[in-house]
Amino acid sequence: MVKIISETISDKPNGPVAAALLGGGIGAAVFGLITLFSELSESFGQALNWYNPVGPLSGKSILGIAAYFIAWAVLHSVWKGKEVNNFNSISTIALVLLAVGLLGTFPPVWHLFISE
Amino acid sequence: MEMTGREIWTVIHGMVFGFIFLLGFSGALYAVYALRPEWLSAEGMNRTINLTKAFVWGLAIAAWGAVISGTFIVYPWYRAAPPEGTADLSAYPRSLLLADPGTAEWHRFGMEWKEHVAFLAPMAATVVAFIVSYYGPTLAKKVGERRAVMIFFIVSFAAAAAAGMFGAFITKAAPVR
């Protein structure tokens, strides 16, 4: 006899999922914006040169990854075990932030802000 | 038929970590898409979800492996500056590309995009892996959450695909040796 799964699945609060999505979006957006600003400001770009063989990408990657995990961890601690009512809004914001990350890493977008 | 240490690391970066992620993506995406109560029995769901968890975590680890090995092992060889007066730039791929106006865009657009956009792939893939693991079979009942997971996963793939594609083109134009 095959069981229908909707009868057997237990529910779980969506807080940790909202935290993961928003943390991912924040991490992507921070990385994208750091990348964009490092192209706009040479001094900022040079300040991100934390490991010379890799150049400014070392600082960008370490800061972006740190922002990603810190944002996720903070949001997770806030929403752990909780049901977030405005999940759809949070999910939409996360996707917009992800798009900011994509745009910030796309060279033609940098050139929109750089005067030749 | 010999490979240098640099070439072996380039292969590990692109053809092991990168290839595993790109090859495995479509199967994992379908597994998430197919987590629907009306499509699976309870037994089928448990079996599917356990495999899917292992699958998406494997892909997330492969994506992190690709960006970390690419950034901190292979990229320094790519961007190394040649000593002044070096005529043969074949050991300095970035300088080799920039020396010829016909190939400079491979660096200015291709490499600049690749080295940055690639970081979004493991970030998004890890979010996907966490949510699949956290919800397990419950994800089958969560339409909005499953949709968000799939969008994150598709963005992750798109970022990895762009990075992988330009990695292949740039390696053809100016290989790391």
| B123/chain A closest Cα distance in angstroms | 6
By CB neighbour count within 10 A (0-12 exposed, 13-18 middle, 19+ buried), where does A43 fall?
exposed
The reported pLDDT for the residue numbered B163 is 98
Residue-wise pLDDT for B25-61, tens only, equals: 999 999 999 888 788 777 778 888 899 999 999 999 9
> Inter-chain contact B108–A87, Cβ cutoff 8 Å?
no
Q: Nearest CB to A53: which of B40, B43, B76?
A: B76
Average pLDDT over residues A37-60: 97
> Inter-chain contact A98–B76, Cβ cutoff 8 Å?
no
Rg of chain B over Cα atoms, rounded to whole angstroms, equals: 20
Please report residues of A whose CB lies closer than 8 A to that of B40: 5
Could you tell me which residue, A4 or B59, shows the higher pLDDT? B59
- DSSP collapsed to 3 states, chain B: CCCCHHHHHHHHHHHHHHHHHHHHHHHHHHHHHCCCCCCCEHHHHHHHHHHHHHHHHHHHHHHHHHHHHHHHHHHHHHHCCCCCCCCCCCCCHHHHHHHCCCCHHHHHHHHHHHHHHCCHHHHHHHHHHHHHHHHHHHHHHCHHHHHHHHHHHHHHHHHHHHHHHHHHHHHHHCCCC
Please report residues of B whose CB lies closer than 8 A to that of A106: 113, 117
Phi-psi region of A83 (alpha: psi -120 to 50; beta: other; left: phi over 0): beta
Nearest chain A residue to B44, by CA: A5
The answer to whether residue A59 neighbours chain B at the CB level (below 8 Å) is no
* A79/A12 Cα distance (integer angstroms): 12
Helix/strand/coil for A9: coil
Average pLDDT over residues A48-75: 98
Residue-wise pLDDT for B103-139, tens only, equals: 999 999 999 999 999 999 999 999 999 999 999 988 9
Q: Any idea where the domains of chain B sit in the sequence? A: 5-80+90-173
> Inter-chain contact A107–B138, Cβ cutoff 8 Å?
no
Nearest chain B residue to A30, by CA: B120
Q: Which B residues, 98 through 157, put their C-beta within 8 Å of a C-beta on chain A? A: 108-109, 112-113, 115-117, 119-120, 123-124, 126-127, 130-131, 134-135, 137-138, 140-142, 144-145, 148, 151-152, 155
pTM over 0.90, yes/no: yes
Complex ipTM more than 0.85, yes or no: yes
CA-based nearest residue to B162, from A73, A101, A5, A55: A101
The reported pLDDT for the residue numbered B48 is 85
> Inter-chain contact A102–B117, Cβ cutoff 8 Å?
yes
| B61/chain A closest Cα distance in angstroms | 14
* Residue of A40, A57, A106 to mutate, testing the B interface (most B Cβ within 10 Å of its Cβ): A57
The answer to whether residue B76 neighbours chain A at the CB level (below 8 Å) is yes
The angle, 0 to 180 degrees and rounded to 10, between the axes of the packed helices A56-79 and A15-40 is 160
CA-based nearest residue to B77, from A46, A53, A48, A55: A53
Is the pLDDT at A1 greater than 50? The verdict is: no
